[in-house]
Structure 1
Amino acid sequence: MFSRFKHNSSNILNKNPLDQHFEMGRLIGSAGPGNSWRIYEAYRRSDGKEFSIFLFDKRGCDRIHRLKKKDTLSDILRKGVKELARCRHPRFLQVVHGSEECQDTLAFVSEPVIGSLANLISQEDEDKPPLSPSVHMHSAAIIDTTYTFLDIEYKYGILQIVEALAFLHTTARTQHRNICPSSILVTRKGTWKLAGLEFSERPNDTEASDLVSCPRWTSKISKSAQPELDFIAPETQTRSMASFASDMFSVGLLIATIYNRGQSPIQANHSSQTYIRLIDTFNEIIRDAIKPVPLGLQDAVLRLTSIDPRRRPTAQHMGAIQYFR
Structure 2
Amino acid sequence: MWAFFARDPVKDFNYDILPETQETSGIWTLHRGKRKTGGEPVSVFVYEVSTGTEEQTQLAKAAFKRMKTLRHPNILAYVDGLETEKSLYLVTEQVTPLAAHLKAQSDRGGSGDLEMSWGFHQIVKALSFLVNDCHLLHNNLGIWSVFVDRAGEWKLGGLDHMTPENEDASTSLPSAKAVHSDMDKYDPPESPNGGEKWAGDVWRLGCLIWEVFNGPLPRTSSLRSLGKIPKALVPHYCELVGANARARPNPARFLQNCRAPGGFLSNSFVESNLFLEEIQIKDPAEKHQFFQDLSENLDSFPEDFCKHKVLPQLLTAFEFGNAGAVVLTPLFKVGKFLSAEEYQQKIIPVIVKMFSSTDRAMRIRLLQQMEQFIQYLNDAAVNSQIFPHVVHGFTDTNPAIREQTVKSMLLLAPKLNESNVNQELMRHFARLQARDEQGPIRCNTTVCLGKIAPYLNAGTRQRVLISAFSRATKDPFPASRAAGVLGFAATHNYYSVTESAARVLPTLCTLTVDPDKNVRDQAFKAIKSFLTKLETVSEDPTKLAEIEKDVMSSAQPAGAAASWAGWAVTGVSSLTSKLIRTGPGAEVGGPANNTPVAANTASPRSEVKPPTASMTLPFASGLAIQSDSPKVTEKDEEPIGDRWDDEDWGSLEVQLKSEVYMESLILVDGWSAEPAGDWGAEESWESVAGLSKTELAKKKREERRKELEAKRAERKAAKGPLKLGARKLD
- Per the TM superposition, whether the score is higher than 0.5 is yes
1:233 to 164, 178, 188: 188
1:315 matched to which residue of 2?
251
CA distance in 2, matches of 1:39, 1:122: 17
2:60 to 73, 77, 82: 77
CA distance in 1, matches of 2:169, 2:94: 36
Identify the structure with the greater strand proportion: 1
What per-residue deviation string (whole Å, max 9, x for no partner) do you get for residues 185-235 of structure 1? 11122111001111111123xxxxxx845269697x4418xx932322222
Structure 1 letter corresponding to 2:201: D
Return the offset for 1:245: 1.7
After superposition, residues 70-149 of structure 1 pair within 5 angstroms as 72-98=55-81, 100-113=82-95, 115-121=96-102, 149=111
Return the offset for 1:316: 0.7
- The answer on 1:164 being equivalent to 2:126 is yes
Q: Is the CA contact 2:79–2:93 (under 8 Å) kept in the aligned structure 1? A: yes
Return the offset for 1:240: 8.2
2:28 matched to which residue of 1?
37
CA distance in 1, matches of 2:194, 2:176: 12
Partner SS, residue 151 of structure 2: coil
1:6 matched to which residue of 2?
none
Identity of counterpart residues, as a percentage? 23
Structure 2 unaligned runs (5+)?
Answer: 1-6, 267-730
CA distance in 2, matches of 1:218, 1:56: 17
Return the offset for 1:123: 7.0
- The answer on 1:214 being equivalent to 2:170 is yes
- The answer on 1:50 being equivalent to 2:41 is yes
Identify the structure with the greater helix proportion: 2
1:179 matched to which residue of 2?
141
1:152 matched to which residue of 2?
114
- The answer on 1:256 being equivalent to 2:210 is yes
Q: Is the CA contact 2:196–2:245 (under 8 Å) kept in the aligned structure 1? A: no
1:286 matched to which residue of 2?
223
Partner SS, residue 74 of structure 2: coil
Indicate how the Cα distance of structure 1 residues 217 and 76 shifts in structure 2: closer, same or farther if over 3 A, else same: closer
CA distance in 2, matches of 1:173, 1:116: 26
Return the offset for 1:105: 2.0
Indicate how the Cα distance of structure 1 residues 31 and 161 shifts in structure 2: closer, same or farther if over 3 A, else same: farther
CA distance in 2, matches of 1:57, 1:146: 35
Partner SS, residue 179 of structure 1: coil
CA distance in 1, matches of 2:87, 2:169: 32
CA distance in 2, matches of 1:23, 1:213: 36
1:324 matched to which residue of 2?
265
2:18 matched to which residue of 1?
25
What per-residue deviation string (whole Å, max 9, x for no partner) do you get for residues 117-138 of structure 1? 233446799xxxxxxxxxxxxx
Return the offset for 1:28: 3.9
After superposition, residues 264-303 of structure 1 pair within 5 angstroms as 264=217, 267=219, 282=221, 285-288=222-225, 290-303=226-239
Structure 1 range deviating more: 175-184 or 116-125: 116-125
Return the offset for 1:254: 0.6
Return the offset for 1:19: 5.0
- The answer on 1:223 being equivalent to 2:203 is no
Return the offset for 1:179: 0.5
TM-score by length of 2: 0.32
Structure with higher Rg: it is 2
Structure 1 letter corresponding to 2:180: K
2:150 matched to which residue of 1?
188
CA distance in 2, matches of 1:39, 1:182: 12
TM-score by length of 1: 0.69
Return the offset for 1:149: 2.8
Return the offset for 1:30: 3.2
CA distance in 2, matches of 1:228, 1:243: 20
What per-residue deviation string (whole Å, max 9, x for no partner) do you get for residues 49-80 of structure 1? 2211111223332xxx23xxxxx312211211
Q: Is the CA contact 2:75–2:157 (under 8 Å) kept in the aligned structure 1? A: yes
Structure 1 unaligned runs (5+)?
Answer: 1-13, 67-71, 126-144, 205-210, 268-277
Indicate how the Cα distance of structure 1 residues 174 and 222 shifts in structure 2: closer, same or farther if over 3 A, else same: closer
Structure 2 letter corresponding to 1:191: E
CA distance in 2, matches of 1:154, 1:212: 33
CA distance in 2, matches of 1:147, 1:172: 39
